[in-house]
Amino acid sequence: MEASSFQSALLLLTGLVLGIRHAFDRDHVAAVTHFVSLEPDPLKSAWFGCRWAIGHALTVLILGSLIILFHLKFDPSFERYAELAVGVSLLILGIWRLVLLMQERRHEHRHAHVKTEHTHLHSHEPGRGHVHWFAPTLVGMVHGASGTVELFVLIPITMMAAAWLAYIYIGLFSLGCAVSMSGYGYLAGRFYHRANQTGRKIYRVLVILTSLSGLVLGVIWILKNV
């Protein structure tokens, strides 16, 4: 194998490994965990992680293409605004999850029937289709524009001689990110599912802690970039 071919293969492998690691950034994990906690089913949770990764990959592909095809250089302020957008998204997700948690409670409905009136319980349990199909993908797109992507993807691809190698790098990076986040979603889904089966109080406390940690992280993210 020629030296240049070996270097290209090594760089592509590096892209895959960095993608696997990149998925576990704090903001990524926090965002996906909000969706997982809402529908704590392992397979659904893995799909949440995959949908997030699809959105992340779309943004990386768009930004990468701008560099590969048009040799575009992004202003430093772009990264700052992208990080601010991530912080805002974490705040929105945390508040959204707390609001939905308050709605997930048992309540009574009284129904009047012919000569009778009865009461029954209706439960807003987790997993009632509150998550819009595109929500994780949109969040992933926001996160795909933030700072570490420039380090892991956008800088290395500018060093490649061939455009097709650059796109393979992006694809492997995104594949690694998708595998990691889907795996995390599956494991987190099992954890939340077990917590929900153990007891609703335990599940609620866990969701509150998850939401509050996301809010705190969002505030920190914003303060670091204002």
Terminal CA-CA length for the chain: 49
Q: CB burial class (10 A; 0-12, 13-18, 19+) of residue 220?
A: middle
Residue 159: pLDDT band (50, 70, 90) is confident
Is the pLDDT at 119 greater than 50? The verdict is no
Q: What local confidence, expressed as pLDDT, does residue 121 receive?
A: 34
More confident: 120 or 126: 126
Indicate the average pLDDT of the chain. 85
CA distance 136 to 142: 10
Is the pLDDT at 152 greater than 90? The verdict is no
Instruction: Specify the DSSP class assigned to residue 112.
Output: E
Position 226, amino acid: V
Q: What local confidence, expressed as pLDDT, does residue 29 receive?
A: 97
CA distance 62 to 22: 18
Is the pLDDT at 202 greater than 50? The verdict is yes
Q: Is residue 211 within 8 Å of residue 97, measured between CB atoms?
A: yes
Residue 200: pLDDT band (50, 70, 90) is confident
Is the pLDDT at 104 greater than 80? The verdict is no
Question: What is the value of pTM for the model shown?
Answer: 0.86
The mean pLDDT value for 151-170 works out to 79
Q: Enumerate the β-bridge partners of residue 106.
A: 123
pLDDT tens by residue, 74-99: 887 888 999 999 999 999 999 999 99
Is the pLDDT at 130 greater than 60? The verdict is no
Q: Enumerate the β-bridge partners of residue 117.
A: 112
CA distance 91 to 31: 10
Q: Is residue 121 within 8 Å of residue 37, measured between CB atoms?
A: no
Tokens 């998550």, located at residue = 131
Closest CA to 152 of 32, 2, 14: 14
Cα→Cα distances 110→114, 116, 144, 195, Å: 13, 11, 48, 31
